[in-house]
């Protein structure tokens, strides 16, 4: 049988590829069946909006469940069924399709942060390396999902595009079914289950966890506008296909960065520091492309840095999450990132008529703001710790 990590990665790629591809195929389906691209945007929103709202509840359910495998398999199945139902209902009953997608979106956090939270248990010998490979699944899904959705839609129509993506969710479920995830022993489960919103308190009480959550949330707000910036660059250069090239290059850079992180151990020693430094450096390629239009290939460097950032984020969550809210912390963190990126896309849409320079500058500024905010959170926590450890606070102040 294949190694556990290989089977896990197959499950994760299946789920995340279906989700990434759906953002393209649902828009194409709406155009094909209704002739209204705006309907596609609403369908994508129905799938994505529940991520942050339902993340604490889905995570809390996983933390409390003794038998977790059935819960995760239900999430895979509901995701696949919601896509299949939407493929058949958009046009004849679009409102019903939106309800189905919303339902699938409520369990989707288990297929993102929820799956990642299982890695320490599934691969106990080398979780840092496992998180590095887990980060690559997002990059692979970001590259293959949209390309597959568009290709199938071109050959067989948007309906079959959505159904094909649902099939990948089913394949992911089949791979997940083979994972060694036994029921928790009764003594391992928390005596007092955490409340559904307990992850917020944990993030506030643990500075490293709070810092990386806030930093990546603000960073993703900027990244949410990247597709619009790419489209603006392509429009300026009178080369529409360049939009896809820029996004593919960025995703490929992220994949490369994630793979390199599995080999470079220095990234794992102080993951919160790695995350803050890489986030600050992210501003460089965006500023370069803003002031020199021909420098857009440098955006690939941003993708390269996203690999270590994602792995560092997973490592901090892994180290700082209490067992009783571990899954909830992972799902909520992932939900915050998804929602922040969606908000950034909305703001980017408002700025899309101003040209690429302003959009790229805003994205770069978002990275600097994110890194600064995370640094301040850690510094304030360090100052409080120093004061609490000082046996002679009055002498310290006078000095």
67-81, 108-122, 219-233: the lowest-pLDDT one: 219-233
Tell me: do 163 and 295 sit in the same domain.
no
Determine the average pLDDT of the residues in 92-102: 92
Q: Which domain holds residue 276?
A: 198-385
Question: How many domains are contained in the chain?
Answer: 2
Claim to verify: residue 155 and residue 220 sit in the same structural domain: no
**Which of 181, 216, 242 is the C-terminal boundary of a domain?**
181
Distances (CA, A) of 285 to 160, 183, 194, 244: 38, 47, 42, 18
| Residue 189 pLDDT grade (very low, low, confident, very high; cuts 50, 70, 90) | low
Answer for the pair 134, 119: CB distance below 8 angstroms, yes or no.
yes
**Residues 133, 146: Cα–Cα separation, whole Å:** 21
What is the tens place of the pLDDT at every residue in 42-58?
Answer: 888 888 878 777 888 88
Residue 8 DSSP one-character state: H
pLDDT digits (tens, 9 = 90+) for 151-164: 888 889 889 999 99
Q: Tell me if 189 is assigned to some domain.
A: no
Shared-domain flag, residues 215 and 169: no
Same domain membership, residue 232 and residue 131: no
Where residue 31 sits, what CATH number does that domain have? 1.20.1250.20
Q: Is residue 239 part of a domain?
A: yes
- The domain boundary residue, chosen from 146, 181, 216: 181
| Residues 110, 245: Cα–Cα separation, whole Å | 31
Residues 302 and 272 in one domain: yes
Residue 188 belongs to a domain:
no
- 76 and 170 in a single domain? The answer is yes
Residue 26: count other Cβ atoms within 10 Å of its Cβ.
30
Say whether both 154 and 212 belong to one domain.
Answer: no
- Cα(119)–Cα(7) distance, integer angstroms: 12
Single pTM value for the model: 0.79
229 shares a domain with 264: yes
Task: Based on the fold, state whether residues 1 and 89 are members of the same structural domain.
Answer: yes
Residue 397 lies in a domain: no
Q: Are residues 173 and 205 in the same domain?
A: no
Buried b (16+ CB within 10 A) or exposed e, 141-169: bbbbbbbbbbebbeeebbbebbbbbbebb
Asked whether the CA dihedral 276, 277, 280, 281 is positive or negative, the reply is negative
Give the mean model confidence (pLDDT) for residues 212-236.
Answer: 86
Pairwise CA distance, residues 343 & 255, whole Å: 24
């Amino acid at each position: 049988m294949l190694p556990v990590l290989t089977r896990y990665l197959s499950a994760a790629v299946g789920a995340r590829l279906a989700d990434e591809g759906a953002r393209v195929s649902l828009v194409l389906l709406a155009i094909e069946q209704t002739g209204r691209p705006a309907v596609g945007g609403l369908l994508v929103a129905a799938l994505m909006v529940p991520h942050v709202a339902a993340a604490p509840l889905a995570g809390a359910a996983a933390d409390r469940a003794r038998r977790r495998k059935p819960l995760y398999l239900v999430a895979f199945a509901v995701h696949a069924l919601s896509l299949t139902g939407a493929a058949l209902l958009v046009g004849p009953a679009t409102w019903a399709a939106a309800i189905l997608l919303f339902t699938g979106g409520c369990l989707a956090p288990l297929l993102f942060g929820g799956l990642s939270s299982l890695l320490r248990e599934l691969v106990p010998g080398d979780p840092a390396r496992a998180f590095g490979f887990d980060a690559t699944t997002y990059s692979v899904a970001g590259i293959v999902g949209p390309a597959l959705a568009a290709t199938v839609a071109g050959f067989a129509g948007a309906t079959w595009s959505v159904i094909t993506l649902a099939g990948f969710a089913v394949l992911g479920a089949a791979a997940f079914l083979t994972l060694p995830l036994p029921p928790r022993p009764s003594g391992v489960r928390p005596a007092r289950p955490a409340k559904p919103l307990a992850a917020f308190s944990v993030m506030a009480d643990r500075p490293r966890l709070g810092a990386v959550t806030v930093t990546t949330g603000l960073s993703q707000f900027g990244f949410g506008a990247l597709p619009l910036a790419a489209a603006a660059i392509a429009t300026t250069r009178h080369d529409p296909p360049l939009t896809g090239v820029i996004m593919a290059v960025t995703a490929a850079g992220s994949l490369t960065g994630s793979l390199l992180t599995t080999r470079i151990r220095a990234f794992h020693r102080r993951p919160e520091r790695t995350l803050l430094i890489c986030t600050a450096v992210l501003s460089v390629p965006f500023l370069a492309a803003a002031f020199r239009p021909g420098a857009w290939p440098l955006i690939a460097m941003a993708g390269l840095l996203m690999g270590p950032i994602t792995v560092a984020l997973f490592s901090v969550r892994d180290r700082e999450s209490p067992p009783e809210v571990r899954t909830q912390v992972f799902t909520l963190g992932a939900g915050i990132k998804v929602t922040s990126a969606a908000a950034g896309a909305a703001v980017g849409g408002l700025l899309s008529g101003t040209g690429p320079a302003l959009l790229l500058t805003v994205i770069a500024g978002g990275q600097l703001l994110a890194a600064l905010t995370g640094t301040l959170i850690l510094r304030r926590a360090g100052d409080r710790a120093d004061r609490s450890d000082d046996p002679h606070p009055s002498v310290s102040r006078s000095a």
